[in-house]
Structure 1
Amino acid sequence: MSTGAGRGEIDGLAEGSSTEGTGYDPSKSGILPAVVKSKGPDEGRSGVVVECKHAAECAGCPLIELDYNQQLATKQGRVSGALQHYPALEKITTLPVAPAEPITGYRGRAKLVVSPGGAIGLYDRSGHHDVVDIPGCRVLAPSLAEVASVLRSLIAAPPTAARPLLLPYDPLGGGVLRAIDLREVNLPAAKPADATAKGTQPVENEERVGVLVTFVLQRDRSCSREELREAGRAIRPLLPRVLGVAANFHDAEAPQILGAETLVLDGSLQAEDTIGATFHVASFGSFVQAHRGQAARVHSVLLRQIAAYAAETQASRAGKAPRVLDLYGGSGAISIALANAKNRVTMIESFAPATHNARIAAEAQGLGDLDVRTGDVAEVVANLAGTDEKFDVVVMNPPRRGVSPAAREAIARLGAPMLIYVSCDPDTLARDLDHYARLGYATSEIVPLDMIPLTEEVESIVVLRRSPPPPPRVFYEDDDVVIVDKGPHEPVTPQPEYTGSLLSRAAHLPNGAGVLPTHRLESGTSGLCVLAKNERARAMWVQALSSSGRLIYVVAVKGVTPSKGAISRDLREDGRTYPARTRYRRLAVASGHSILRAIPDGGRTHQIRRHLAAIGHPVLGDERYGHVPTNRYFEEKHGLDRSFLHLVRIEVNHPRTGMRLLVESPLPGDLRGAIARATGPSVLRFLEQKHALGDQAPMSTTMPSSQPGSMQVPISIPPPSSISPPPASAALPPISLQMPPSMSPPSITLPMPGPKTERPGPLHRSGSERPPSGYRSITERPGRISTRPPQTPTTVVPMPKIPPPPTVITEPEEPPRTRRSPIVSGDDE
């Protein structure tokens, strides 16, 4: 990562900021601007704990019992912990968390829930959605605390004219008010709050602080629009510092507090809000960073990095200012700050009112050259990638769910030399960085900032530069094949809609050029992939997989399935109908959904996804066959942006030795993260104890024969020259395992060779180079040679007019196991 100018060249915080006593040293990384030493000790620092009378009940500040040093260490651990299950990110350094100043009274935006009894606050720690009244909240900005205090009194004894806005919602009774959204704005120095407007209490010039109030009402119980406007005009004179009042309409079963429609009732439609040296237009319900000082610091970091890039590339740009693309721009706070520094900025935001406000604020500050575009980020960037427009830097500040897979592909195709990612969620950040590594962008460090003190939330800034994609991890290799780990959002073979492919990355491996796939693996599915080194080996391994192989998947599906069963249903493919069968066993129930292991017999396209959807349990995250509301919930809440489908194990009799080969790939970080966020660590621990998520063993091993009393047999792979190719009359494998011509691409040679390691593996040829990731989780043992004849080509039957319903065969639950056993046991036969 380029760190740009030296320490202290850009002031990133207001006077009074401090790093003393926090363990943070900005000099260790030039990415952050210097800060000014505090004039005195601050509550929460150097072992002092912030005290709050609501802490025992309120869930709003989960880290409040820790001193500030411990809070920062906890947040740093959360960021580094999110990276640990992604091998491509293992060399990234997580720097100490940049502390905030102040850590109390800082919060400039608050969505407060209203209870049926009139309490205004947050949900309690029990998880039962009981509201804790928090009149003494330690983190609310003083202006918001003052408004909330007045509202408590008004709700307790509502004036007649304001009753349409103030009666608390009760699901079993009447009322309409569900929540209150308070937004503080710091008006520019030249434009103090309008103290002449009717009902607005004057704001002191030296403060210039105003508040926007949004009443969240139950839509089906609200009054007419005119009655609401009259109530707004009646209540605004009673509220201090309030510039405007609005009503937002909450739909009955919506999980979010705010609904899609907002009606301004009285006062200002919006207000100018200053962060750092510029302002943006704040509107009712619009997003804003919780900590104004830390938000200004983020702007300073971005300016610093872009200035450093401009200095590095000044000659190649012929003196022109860098061209910056700002994605997820919101109301333009970042774009305006960048444009004010003479950068050529294009902003993209999907919400039209926000882009309208961005244009207004830019023109008011003489920044009319700011290019603001409205549209979906993935679509707009994909269109830009198909034009001649070039950008030097891409800035991303996405919502908590992160950057979508389509947007990541489009950004990589755009080819900017530098990406700057501002993230508010370490889990989705790690998921996206893992994908960016395969797309050709890498970083060496993450800079976390404490944007919301006393909570577990942490902001992170990452600068990515162009870098060769890493080769895939190798789990097994011999003279004929290499078994590697395929990442999500990656096709096996090159496809026009994708930037890269598994085969192009495998070309970085020693002897990896020209490898051929031996079985299907969808682009959205992760896990093991067997790549043959030549056509002879490919034919041999396709035959072995069809006659003795098992491909075992870990799948998460909607709802609770039977404990185990088999789904038999014909599937249509390429104009023909084929019989297909999928066996499954439920491993765990997680938040009302099932985690399964599944074994497809037949290997048809989308077989597991189609079969599970047919019995009413679609795969979570499946865009084609899945349940849209459930998919949206898991993406928003748990960061699941693809089908929950991972090829965790391959079992096959080795075509040369006859020994049973078992290769496992551990569940990747994005799927582990989705389980952990949905259920906590308990389900993951349970599945790990059952050895259902793939072995984490770092070295290859040999195992004893399956026959009692047998000796360990070392593995000896004959050279290819000693084995004759199969005769021309040999039976072909079933059509389900034959690869289409499109999956046999020409050899791919990339100039970047894989790194070398010295330690040889027991399954590797003497004198050969070890793959860069080393061997992991490999076991091979003598196995029973199947007495079943090779499968014959599948019989083609006409497609019936009305497809038969799927047959589900349920079986009794297996007894509990107290020792490790294979993921697929004998009772799955």
Structure 2
Amino acid sequence: MPEIYNEAMKRNEEFTGECTDLSDQGYGVLRHNGEVVFVPGLLPQEKARIRVILAKKSFAIGRVMERLSDSPERTQALCPEFGKCGGCALQDLEYQSQLAWKTDWMRRKFPGIEVRDTLGMKDPYNYRNKAQFPVQVTGEGEVITGFYRPNSHTIVDTDTCLIQDERLNELYQYIRKELTSRLAKGLRHIFLRRSRKTGQSQVVFIGEENHFEDLTAKLVSVFPDLVSVVFNHNDRQDNVILGDESVILHGLESIEEDCLGIRIRLNFKSFFQVNPEMMEVLYNTAMEAADIHPGDSVIDMYSGTGTLGLLAARRGAQVTGVEIVPEAVENARENARLNGINNAQFVCQDATEFARQFQDQADVLIVDPPRKGLSEQGVEDIARIDPRRIVYVSCNPNTLKRDLERFAHKGWKARWVQPVDMFPQTPNVEAVCLLEKE
């Protein structure tokens, strides 16, 4: 769709304004001549001189030229790359204020529904158990690794990340130091994962050519907790990170995790929540909402590696997990065996297709979809199953709102929404929602 530039606001135009809110991307929100302007790095109650850097029909993007006042909730960002990479947009806002803003934002988004206070962390740093670092080699042979700038493929060259697990930072720094231009040629990403509970770590080199045997030997000698090193071949000409073929360079292609006493064998291709501490909070909340009784029939849609389904099975339910990624389904079956759970089965099928074909009775339906949420057909098919309650775990409040409206048309009412701060220092928020028939 061609860009239509706003006649009322021009690129490079400057004005002075006051920020009144934050957007769902963590940008300051201002109004100028009746038009909305989004400005990174500006907090509510702050005045600033703004320059318009992009003007579109319905909004503009601005840049702070001079901040004229500071919010009482502003704090000094700890990361030297803050504002450059596309990560921690809220690191300059005090953490308790981040939680308060997320609660207020969710309450405005879900009027008429009980929205509980956002559950947060005691220490909102070094929480991520997974990292993906893109790699580039310049024409001069310099190796650059780090994170992308917002809305670009330009890498911010950095050797650490304050929201990554500290051991992942150590692994990354060692690999970064060892990466010559020869090794980095054709290397697209460095993928790292770690379980704080089991202490196991994993490295996956993603690229076009496998020449990482020597580096693997060095890594294993320095990091005894490294139980998995994998080369994943990807020469596709698109933005898909992982390819289809892999070679194990050391150990296994998985590590072991633990969630609320459930042991999880985690393939590097399988989705797993990146904040293990708040994952347990999120999943405990989901189990509270599910209110499972022994013998209940539970469907776990978008079941991933099976964690939620296995938690439900441990409470005595008969569980069917549904997931379209074959590696994740095999992971889930393996995890059931690993935990001695016999009352959970996992099928490899599209969730909407499964719901459409399902003919039996279900007491509880748990759904944890990707960011795009459910399709309209998916909502209709889930409503047709007619469980006693639906537990919706959402990573995108915008699609959750849309889907709750669709469920309302089918006679389902959202009883409460519990926001959970899975991603401190960022504007993202996850939530658990309980739905029951009216």
- Equivalence for 1:369: 343
Cα distance in 2, alignment partners of residues 178 and 232 from structure 1:
16
1:491 paired residue number: none
Q: 2:143 pairs with 112, 118, 138, which one?
A: 118
Q: 1:184 aligns with which of 184, 188, 194?
A: 194
Q: 1:291 aligns with which of 256, 260, 275?
A: 275
Once the two structures are superposed, the pairs formed by residues 402-481 of structure 1 within 5 Å of their partners are 402-467=373-438
Counterpart residue identity of residue 275, structure 1: C
Tell me the equivalent position of 2:158.
134
Q: Distance in 1 between matches of 2:108 and 2:136?
A: 37
Match of 1:22 in 2: none
**Is contact 1:331-1:355 (8 Å) kept?**
yes
Q: Is the 8 A contact 1:327 1:394 kept in 2?
A: yes
- Cα drift, residue 233 of structure 1: 5.0
Q: TM-score, normalised on structure 2?
A: 0.77
Give the residue type in structure 1 aligned to 2:420: L
Q: In structure 1, which of residues 47, 64, 67 is the aligned counterpart of residue 91 of structure 2?
A: 64
User: SS state of the match for residue 300, structure 1?
Assistant: helix
Of residues 226, 242, 248 in structure 2, which corresponds to 1:264?
Answer: 248
Indicate whether 1:103 and 2:124 are aligned.
yes
Higher relative contact order, chain-length normalized (CA < 8 Å, sep 6+): 2
Which structure 1 segments of 5+ residues have no match?
Answer: 1-45, 84-89, 168-174, 188-207, 311-319, 468-829
Residue of structure 2 equivalent to 1:822: none
Contact 2:74 2:92 (8 Å CA) reproduced: no
List aligned pairs for 1:524-543, cutoff 5 A: none
Secondary structure of the 2:200 match is strand
CA contact (8 A) 2:200 2:256 kept: no
User: Where does structure 2 lack aligned partners over 5 or more consecutive residues?
Assistant: 1-72
Q: Within 1, Cα distance between the matches of 2:79 and 2:96? A: 18
Quote the residue 1:326 is aligned against: 300
State whether structure 2 residue 101 is matched by structure 1 residue 74. yes
Matched, 1:51 2:81: no
Shift of 1:430: 0.9
Is contact 1:76–1:95 with CA below 8 Å preserved after alignment? yes
- Structure 1 residues 266 and 306: alpha-carbon distance in aligned structure 2, compared to 1, 3 A threshold: same
CA offsets, 1:361-397, max 9 Å, x none? 111211022111111111112111xx2x211110011
Q: Specify the SS of the correspondent of 1:420.
A: strand
Whether 2:319 is the aligned partner of 1:345: answer yes
Partners of 2:404 and 2:233 in 1: how far apart? 37
Q: State how 1:634-673 maps to structure 2 within 5 Å.
A: none
Does the 8 Å CA contact 1:48/1:68 hold for their aligned counterparts? no
Q: In structure 1, what is the Cα distance between the partners aligned to 2:421 and 2:319?
A: 27
Distance in 2 (alpha carbons) for counterparts of 1:93 and 1:353: 37
* Counterpart-to-counterpart distance in 1, 2:329 and 2:104: 36
Q: Which residue type is aligned with residue 321 of structure 2?
A: M
- SS of residue paired to 1:304: helix
Q: Distance in 1 between matches of 2:352 and 2:391?
A: 17
Cα distance in 2 for partners of 1:254, 1:263 equals 21
- Offset, 1:245: 1.2
Aligned-residue offset at 1:331:
0.8
State the 1:251 CA deviation: 4.2
Report percent identity of matched pairs.
Answer: 27
User: 1:479 aligns to what?
Assistant: none
For the residues of structure 2 that align with 1:279 and 1:134, how far apart are their CA atoms?
34
Q: Residue 322 of structure 2: SS of its match in structure 1?
A: strand
1:210 matched to 2:175? no
Bigger share in strand: 2
Map of 1:198 onto structure 2: none
Kindly state the Cα deviation for residue 237 of structure 1 after the two structures are TM-superposed: 2.5
| Aligned partners of 2:298 and 2:363 also within 8 Å | yes
**2:38 corresponds to which residue?**
none
Deviation, structure 1 residue 257: 2.5
Cα separation, partners in 2 of 1:104 and 1:151, compared to 1, 3 Å? same
How high is the TM-score relative to the length of structure 1? 0.42
* Pair 363,186 (structure 1): closer, same or farther in 2 beyond 3 Å: farther
Higher Cα Rg: structure 1 or 2? 1
Query: 1: CA distance between counterparts of 2:187 and 2:361?
Result: 49
Following TM superposition, by how much is the alpha carbon of 1:338 offset from its aligned partner in structure 2, in angstroms? Answer: 1.6
Paired residue secondary structure (1:115)? strand
| Superposition CA RMSD, Å | 2.2
Tell me how far apart the structure 2 counterparts of residues 252 and 303 of structure 1 sit (CA, whole Å). Answer: 40
